[in-house]
A and B are shown apart, each in its own frame.
Chain A
């Protein structure tokens, strides 16, 4: 399809519970990016993939966050033992290349609320 599909749209988890978010990139796009947006403010880069390989994971808090992009499956971002400060909107984006002449295409985001 021509849109980046993120599911679920909303997710509520109790502190300490696991959260798993999904992202289906646009077909034919080789790169996938995850960003975290807190309080409608800055977009914090988390991780990027080139196909199923991690391209850049320097933004990930590795002790609790993990991500995968497996062939023929939506990409996923998993947070183990969620904390209150993980409450944010998580955006996924895809592009055909790292330096995309048309920019990245973003999904509508998953709003995670940790209570």
Chain B
């Protein structure tokens, strides 16, 4: 199956800094979503961007989508220790939501 891939895989930052993650995918999509997974927990939906949108904001989150490059980025501004988690992009295509490998983000207080 074709899945999104994030870059970088692991990120360690100081509290207050911004964290940026990228995701690329290979097929046409209807929408792209970002999820957070805290250790030992399920996925929590963060934000969804539709294929006809280029940028979307939600609180401290900003997601961009470039369908010509088949890529997306997630920016977390003013990071907090509670943002420590793994972040996954997922895109909807071929009747299913496919996930990438995930970025582990560690925010150091």
Contact B102–A104 (Cβ < 8 Å): no
Q: Given the complex of chains A and B, what is the CA–CA distance between A43 and B99 in angstroms?
A: 6
Contact among B1, B44, B98 for A106, CB-based, below 8 A: B44
Q: Mark A60-82, 1 if CB is under 8 A from B, else 0.
A: 00000000000000000000000
Q: Given the complex of chains A and B, what is the CA–CA distance between A35 and B102 in angstroms?
A: 15
Q: Given the complex of chains A and B, what is the CA–CA distance between A76 and B61 in angstroms?
A: 35
Contact A45–B35 (Cβ < 8 Å): no
Residues of A within 8 A of B30 (CB): 99
Interface of A is mostly: loop
Q: Given the complex of chains A and B, what is the CA–CA distance between A100 and B35 in angstroms?
A: 14
Q: Mark A95-114, 1 if CB is under 8 A from B, else 0.
A: 00011111111111100000
Interface residues of B (CB under 8 A from A): 1, 3, 30-31, 33, 35, 37, 41-46, 48, 86, 88, 90, 92, 95-102
A-B contact sample (4 more), CB < 8 A, given A43-B99, A45-B98: A42-B100, A55-B95, A91-B43, A104-B45
Chosen A-B contacts, 24 in total, with CB atoms closer than 8 Å, are A4-B42, A33-B97, A40-B37, A42-B3, A42-B99, A55-B95, A56-B96, A59-B1, A98-B92, A98-B95, A99-B30, A99-B31, A102-B45, A103-B45, A103-B46, A104-B43, A104-B97, A105-B45, A106-B42, A106-B44, A106-B45, A108-B41, A109-B41, A109-B42
